[in-house]
């Protein structure tokens, strides 16, 4: 998924840095989980994984990828849906996805607020989704919620379907990476007909736990071998940049405003997006959480200065800084263009 700070392309580098130092254990906490790419990696490696994020759509992904530990059988739902199975289909999830891909489109919240025809009454029409794709997204989201109300889905099945939708939406959004702005011309990706795709599930037979909260509230209850921190690096809050994914996940028809149809995010602001509070928060985590190793991903352009980070972490054990060059995705200030930039990606490794 396109997500600021997604560590997908850095997983092997991070893992290598840990292995070289013989850093291992049984439990791993991904404290700022985002797309869950790091949590997934360590789940695959057999760790019992904990994860947390302020964003609700991240929580949906966490539930499906991290907490869930079985292939969903949709026992209650399948007898209710009539679908001719194609030979290629083998899992119940694929049957449900095929069903959802064939339901009738509906003009719902996404169509009415984020498609061109749905916003024709506005001075500036919103070009987030093609009309047809917006209606498809609405229909699928409404159907999933209907099944939930009818109690034909387990909690795991519900979050798996929401996650399939969230992951799929990313492939059809007319944005340059983030949802704080839509593109003024149609990107080719946005004009392709929407297709719901399945996500790849991972099983590790452990009681993994996931949270949708300000991670700072969890600090005192944490007890883990490896505590992995990947907080925001700059003033840019995450919630406004992914507001439409939040709305699709929450299905709560929020009051929205402005050219981009932004939902309120007052409760989802991160202290890591301000220099003074970021350092305080880092200090609170390092001091109060219970861990053997604290690994902080950061970069050379972050708002917390390197010397302050080393000083804070140094109060609780030995600190090593590992740096590697990385070609980072960067959207420019008005969100129209992507530029690539070399940045030093950093790993601060604190051994208690
Ligand atoms: C750099 S991104 C993490 C990227 C993630 N490692 C990945 O690979 O996708 C930072 C994440 O921290 C979350 N976040 C920021 N402040 C938070 C807080 N106080 N508690 C929980 N999550 C927070 C943001 O919502 C965002 O998802």
Domain ranges in the chain are 1-71+201-232+271-352, 72-200+236-269
Counts of helices then strands in the chain (DSSP H, E) = 11, 9
Between CA 273 and CA 327, with CA 294 as vertex, the angle to 5 degrees is 60
Q: At 292, is the secondary structure helix, strand, or coil?
A: strand
When pLDDT is cut at 50, 70 and 90, the band that residue 86 belongs to is low
35 ligand 1 Cβ < 6 A: yes
Q: How far is the CA of 238 from the centre of ligand 1 (A)?
A: 8
pLDDT of amino acid 335: 46
0.75 cut: is pTM over it?
A: yes
In ligand 1, which atom is closest to the CA atom of 34? Answer: 27
Q: How far is the CA of 237 from the centre of ligand 1 (A)?
A: 10
When pLDDT is cut at 50, 70 and 90, the band that residue 334 belongs to is very low
pLDDT of amino acid 332: 46
Whether pLDDT at 329 is above 70: no
281 ligand 1 Cβ < 6 A: no
d(CA 224, CA 133): 43
Whether pLDDT at 311 is above 80: yes
Whether pLDDT at 82 is above 90: no
CATH number attached to the domain at 1-71+201-232+271-352: 3.40.50.150
pLDDT tens for each residue of 247-258: 999 999 999 999
pLDDT tens for each residue of 94-139: 999 999 999 999 999 999 999 999 999 999 999 999 999 999 999 9
Give the residue, 341 or 158, on which the prediction is more confident. 158
Provide the mean pLDDT of the chain.
94
Polymer length of the chain? 352
In the chain, what percentage of residues exceed pLDDT 70? 94
pLDDT of amino acid 343: 81
């Amino acid at each position: 998924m396109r997500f600021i700070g997604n560590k997908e392309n850095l997983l092997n580098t991070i893992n290598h840095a840990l292995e070289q130092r013989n850093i291992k254990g049984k439990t791993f906490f991904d404290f700022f989980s985002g797309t869950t790419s790091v949590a997934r990696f360590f789940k695959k490696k057999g760790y019992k994984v904990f994860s947390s994020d302020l964003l609700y759509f991240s929580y949906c992904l966490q539930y499906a990828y991290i907490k869930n530990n079985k292939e969903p059988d949709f026992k209650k739902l399948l007898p209710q849906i009539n679908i001719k199975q194609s030979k290629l289909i083998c899992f119940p999830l694929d049957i449900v996805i095929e069903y959802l891909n064939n339901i009738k489109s509906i003009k719902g919240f996404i169509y009415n607020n984020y498609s061109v025809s749905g916003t024709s009454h506005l001075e500036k029409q919103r070009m987030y989704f093609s009309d047809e794709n917006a209606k498809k997204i609405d229909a699928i989201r409404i159907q999933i919620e209907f099944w939930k109300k009818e109690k034909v889905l387990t909690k795991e099945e519900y979050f798996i379907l929401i996650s399939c939708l969230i992951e799929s939406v990313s492939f059809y959004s007319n944005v340059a990476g983030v949802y704080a702005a839509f593109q003024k011309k149609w990107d080719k990706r946005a004009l392709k007909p929407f297709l719901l795709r399945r996500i790849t599930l991972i099983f590790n037979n452990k009681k993994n736990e996931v949270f949708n909260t300000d991670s700072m509230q969890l600090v005192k209850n944490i007890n883990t071998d490896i505590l992995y921190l990947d907080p925001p690096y700059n003033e840019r809050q995450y919630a406004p940049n992914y507001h439409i994914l939040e709305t699709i996940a929450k299905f709560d028809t929020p009051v929205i405003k402005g050219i981009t149809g932004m939902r309120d995010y007052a409760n989802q602001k991160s202290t890591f997006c301000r220099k003074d509070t970021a350092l305080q928060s880092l200090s609170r985590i390092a001091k109060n959480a219970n861990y053997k190793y604290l690994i902080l991903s950061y970069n050379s352009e972050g708002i917390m200065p390197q010397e302050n980070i080393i000083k804070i972490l140094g109060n609780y054990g030995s600190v090593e800084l590992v740096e590697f060059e990385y070609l980072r995705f960067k959207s420019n200030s008005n969100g129209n263009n992507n530029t690539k930039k070399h940045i030093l990606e950093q790993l601060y490794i604190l051994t208690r």
